[in-house]
Structure 1
């Protein structure tokens, strides 16, 4: 259907053989048609998107895993999806949407190829439709007594076979009814495009349901080789003037017909049936060729394992007769006029000697190697820019053909050279008028006497477009300006000018230095190899004041302080200016004085502010540093007071040394977290505790002095259900380098604590009750990943799960 070639010439004579010949969709896509496939592509093809289709919705052919007409698995433009509904309707809707999305002035080519009514034909919507068993005269024919070939000879159908064949016939017929609904919806979607749309409706094969005591296809009988073929094309045949034709038309005629209607050469085995539509002819051939297994898998023959396998055959069909020759030497001849069900084989019948000789001659003529007729399928035909590459695809009928190509330039013939593989790329190409020629030679050394040609030209008629991609800000205080620029062609040369001066050759990037204050304009233009000069874009900017403003913070919080709110005032020595403020190294944001921060953490903080004037000068960054303490501990008279306060996660603890002698505040966990060193009266020392735990400390000068800092863990919300997502927080931030957090859990009914999060660096995580209702406890500590030393576990936090 897609090539117009017999199976002998495509090589495709079994499901597993891939199609490697160019197709009519490729040619139409190359001509500017928008193309779509929705359904099955080929039995041997993977469902991967193909470049000749703008939309590719592919359903793998049965027996692909999970194949069904219900909720089908489709590859939609490269994404495999399980869609809800019925395959024929879904694929029809994809096609209808494709047509609706195609611009009215663009032609389209759409293949709607649902697998139905192929097995399993499991569309349930029409399974209540009554279907009568099919019983033509050939049903359960005595194939042993009517001259059938050996592979067809067998005994009567068994009751089980009768039931199975009737079931398949019923399901397929019902599925076809549902297919009719999808086809009707698709045709209705054409709308205004109906009048100039060619519609071809057919099946790819027939089917036997017990005729000649056989089921399936691949045999030369009418039930297998004759299929529905309906054509609608109002542009040639008004819908009010339908007719039925007995002309012999084949699936190999589809591609040549399409090519004929779009005025494109297509040298194939088939013929255009357009004359039948216009009424110019009542037939297009006297005899039709049929075949089976005459390509890659030739010869197919029955054997002990597959005694009913259809042998390779060629056949000829005329309006009155059918004649078949098998690779086994067997022959069949049927008088279709008096025996349309092909029951009596008249091969070698003395009454049909003359008829058989005539049919054998027609078959010889139909199977003889055709005169090579080479076709260019894709390739340029218009104007290409210089340095382009041109790719052409082509074919001749024989799959064994070799090819020669020639490129004529400016009327001067080139030299023929080999270009096998059905495709060639030439280039890079300079300006000129070109004609590409290609001819095929078949396996009998017969060369196409009329090579196919395609003319095109290469011309640079457009000037390059230059773009200045970067330059100085406007305004700016910088006296140096750097520009980058590019063109949409390559190679080109550039000419640059500053402030209307003489244009001089230049390259990107280009830098000017020592520029004076005031306005400036830069321009650049590109010239291509053909001498086309593009327009010169410009970049204008002004160099202004170069003195930046000085910023001063005039007030801020005391250091240290217990206040979690901080207010700053600040000013600059220029006006107007804009200020940018940052807290603790965060992103600087626009701000004004006064500026207040609330809800600050109990730790050390740094505020910074800078000013920028109207010319873009940014001055110094002024800073203010202070500490918000959470816990205050007095060190006096060889005692810490309070001894074991509770600190918040991330909160600061400040020791104030009040004498009368020197003391220290030193970590006793072995992790060397903090050490104030000997500090006398009036001194202070501050530490922020990030993670949950109980941190023991003491004085190295007076070992009897001891204290601890307790940093609690948090679990929220405090109550909830089994489905509640709780969150446990054990630190204010990720663990410092070289340290990790350990978190333990005590589940309902448990008497011991168990590990939950060990050796983690994150500050918290979500938790869902995993032991039913009751009370869950959590506690945490900080541990050195280097020496294994650790704090003690923190006070516990609890959540209550009630339902």
Structure 2
């Protein structure tokens, strides 16, 4: 009887393995997921920024695929990180603050848990960011930490260097006969919260960008701030602007410090790729590079993120697959891709079926040039985090339009922007009779998405 039970269990395991791990061991690539913090979409050389120096990341884009229209479905770190793990919108995974954690059942449906179950060796290094209950026992290699962490700790290297050291240590332990999935979650380019030095880069970058001049955004001025609706003035976004971007001298220093932190990340990428080459793992390792959300560098007289303006929600997204033929390397794709797409993408590269609870779509067909189904043309934005001076909001972004609903403000605020003709989002068309039908169309879209995507 015991033997029959054992045989049945082995048969069930084999069935699950065959359905969830569709690729042979030799076909399964290693996976590296690099997640920066607060990195806006244009803070890379390959995304058109002529000041910042990011040659190693730019090389990933030149030899891989870059997405020019990538977005976070929510611009706050804990919620977005949960969306990366689960492939779900916030209203489904339920992490809308800094204390909520994924339940054990929910974690088993995340990409690291599913990859581990499919035979991948999993590792997490850096800022966990989804509550303070750290899932160290759910990974084979764990160097994660709770909270924001500190860039400088007495007697230790700068945080980005510490993450690099841990990454190289992990890669030194990897072997070609077992695929791995490595997540590295940076603090950079997040500020050190509170007053004082905001973007605390390593001393080696102090002289970077000293001869450059950063051109402020068109709305990074008092006129841009004064034109904001009263419901969006004041509050945390303005407090943080006063610490970082109040006047040209402060703006120049802090934007350059922000860039210096990201150049540190770029050096990390160079060291990581060199280690992959040394270990003869480079030819079978897929790298995904992105950020949890964007960041205001003074636009509209603001700092931080949270709001549904473009600098806050647009992110970099690069996928590097060394197995791609030369003809598929280097494009910048226009498809609208989201943070919730990363989990099903990583699973797809591994040959593991994404669970039905995931709401994102795999980007692998786009990378490989064989997407044969219509791609999304709109998405839902959610900022459900409760805060006394940051209004909650939801909205819909399409290719040319954006609608935002601040349901709990007094009075209630709505915004409608024609992005094609108003890319800086300065003219709110709500209240203009010519756009009444368009406004009602987007109100209906949002109501439908609120229901369907939960």
Q: By the TM > 0.5 criterion, same fold?
A: yes
2:378 to 281, 287, 290: 287
Residue equivalent to 1:266? 355
* Post-superposition CA distance 1:10-35 (Å, at most 9, x none): 22222233233322111111111001
Is the Cα contact below 8 Å between 2:365 and 2:371 reproduced in 1?
A: yes
Q: Which runs of 5+ in 2 are unaligned?
A: 1-83, 193-198
1:133-212 aligned at under 5 Å gives the runs 133-140=214-221, 142=223, 146=227, 148=229, 150-152=231-233, 161-162=246-247, 163-191=249-277, 192-212=280-300
What residue number does 1:345 align with? Answer: 428
> Are residue 24 (structure 1) and residue 103 (structure 2) matched?
no
Cα distance in 1 for partners of 2:274, 2:226 equals 51
Equivalent residues in 2 for 1:290-329 (5 A)?
A: 290-293=381-384, 297=386, 306=388, 309-327=389-407, 328=409, 329=412
* Count of aligned residue pairs for this structure pair: 345
**Contact 1:143 1:152 (8 Å CA) reproduced:** no
Match of 2:137 in 1: 51
Instruction: Give the Cα–Cα distance (whole angstroms) in 2 for the partners of residues 17 and 255 of structure 1.
Output: 20
Measured after TM superposition, the shift of residue 239 of structure 1 is: 8.0
Q: State the alpha-carbon separation in 2 of the partners of residues 280 and 239 from structure 1.
A: 13
Q: Distance in 2 between matches of 1:244 and 1:134?
A: 24
The 2-side partners of 1:362 and 1:193 are apart by 46
Alpha-carbon distance, 1:100 to partner: 3.2
Distance across 1 between alignment mates of 2:136 and 2:325:
33
Q: Which residue of 1 aligns with 2:160?
A: 88
d(CA) in 1 for partners of 2:325, 2:399 = 24
Whether the 8 Å contact between 1:206 and 1:226 is mirrored in structure 2 is: yes
Asked if the contact 1:36/1:109 (under 8 Å) is kept, the reply is yes
| Cα pair distance change 1:6/1:170, threshold 3 Å | same
Q: Deviations over 1:247-267 (max 9, x none)?
A: 111111111112233231322
Aligned-pair CA distance for 1:288 = 1.6
Distance 1:238-1:315 versus aligned 2 partners, 3 A rule: farther
Shift of 1:166: 4.3
Aligned partners of 2:94 and 2:431: how far apart in 1?
32
- Supply the distance in 1 between the matched residues of 2:333 and 2:315 (Cα, whole angstroms): 14
Using the TM superposition, give the Cα deviation of residue 143 of structure 1 relative to its aligned residue in structure 2, in angstroms.
5.3
* Per-residue CA distance 1:616-652 (angstroms, 9 max, x = gap): xxxxxxxxxxxxxxxxxxxxxxxxxxxxxxxxxxxxx
Q: Cα deviation per residue 1:566-594 (whole Å; 9 max; x = unaligned)?
A: xxxxxxxxxxxxxxxxxxxxxxxxxxxxx
Q: How far apart in 2 are the matches of 1:363 and 1:237?
A: 40
8 Å contact 2:224–2:299 — kept in the other structure?
no
Q: Is the 8 A contact 2:128 2:144 kept in 1?
A: yes
Partner of 2:365: 275
Q: Does 1:361 align with 2:444?
A: yes
Residue number in structure 2 paired with 1:438: none
Shift of 1:224: 0.7
Quick one: distance in 1 between partners of 2:442 and 2:325?
34
Q: Is the 8 A contact 2:124 2:184 kept in 1?
A: yes
Report Cα offsets for 1:696-737 as digits up to 9, x if no partner: xxxxxxxxxxxxxxxxxxxxxxxxxxxxxxxxxxxxxxxxxx
Cα offset for 1:93? 3.0
Q: Deviations over 1:108-159 (max 9, x none)?
A: 1001112112223322211211253441112125357646352237999879
SS in 2 for 1:368: helix
Q: Distance in 2 between matches of 1:364 and 1:235?
A: 42
Q: Indicate conservation of the 8 Å contact 2:228/2:300, yes or no.
A: no
Picking from 122, 132, 151, the partner of 2:213 is: 132
- Would you say the 8 A contact 2:307–2:393 is kept in 1? no
What is the alpha-carbon distance in structure 2 between the residues aligned to residue 345 and residue 152 of structure 1? 15
SS of residue matched to 2:182: strand
1:467-486 to structure 2, matched below 5 A, reads none
Q: In the alignment, is the contact (CA less than 8 A) between 1:202 and 1:230 conserved in 2? A: yes
3-state secondary structure, aligned to 1:206: coil
- Aligned residues of 1:271 and 1:284 also touching (Cα < 8 A): no
Aligned 1:450-599 pairs, distance under 5 A? none
Q: CA deviation at 1:240?
A: 6.5
Where relative contact order (Cα < 8 A, 6+ residues apart) is larger, the structure is 2
> Is this contact kept in 2: 1:325–1:331, CA < 8 A?
yes
- Over the aligned positions, Cα root-mean-square deviation in angstroms equals 2.8
Does the CA-based 8 Å contact 2:402-2:419 persist in structure 1?
Answer: yes
- C-alpha distance 112-153 of structure 1, shift in aligned 2 (>3 A): closer
Match for residue 623 of structure 1?
none
How far did 1:188 drift?
2.4
More helix by share: 2
CA positional deviation for 1:212: 0.8
2:171 to 99, 113, 116: 99
Change (3 A) 1:33 1:83: farther
Alignment partner for residue 245 of structure 1, among 303, 321, 333? 333
Max Rg structure: 1
Give me the whole-angstrom Cα distance separating, in 1, the residues matched to 2:429 and 2:352.
44
Q: Distance in 2 between matches of 1:189 and 1:12?
A: 35
Q: Distance in 2 between matches of 1:59 and 1:180?
A: 22
Are 2:190 and 1:110 equivalent residues in the alignment? no
Matches within 5 A, 1:68-79: 68=151, 70=152, 72=153
CA distance 1:231–1:83, change in 2 (3 Å): farther
Q: Matches of 2:157 and 2:226 in 1, distance apart?
A: 49
Q: Does 1:35 align with 2:122?
A: yes
* Aligned counterparts of 2:444 and 2:322: Cα–Cα separation in 1: 39
Q: Is the 8 A contact 2:188 2:262 kept in 1?
A: yes
Secondary structure, aligned partner of 1:2: helix
Which whole-Å CA distance do the structure 1 matches of 2:449 and 2:116 have between them? 31
> Following TM superposition, by how much is the alpha carbon of 1:99 offset from its aligned partner in structure 2, in angstroms?
2.5
Work out the CA distance in 2 between the residues paired with 1:88 and 1:357. Answer: 47
Structure with the largest fraction of strand = 1
With over 3 angstroms needed to count, the CA separation of the structure-2 counterparts of 1:239 and 1:95, relative to structure 1, is: farther
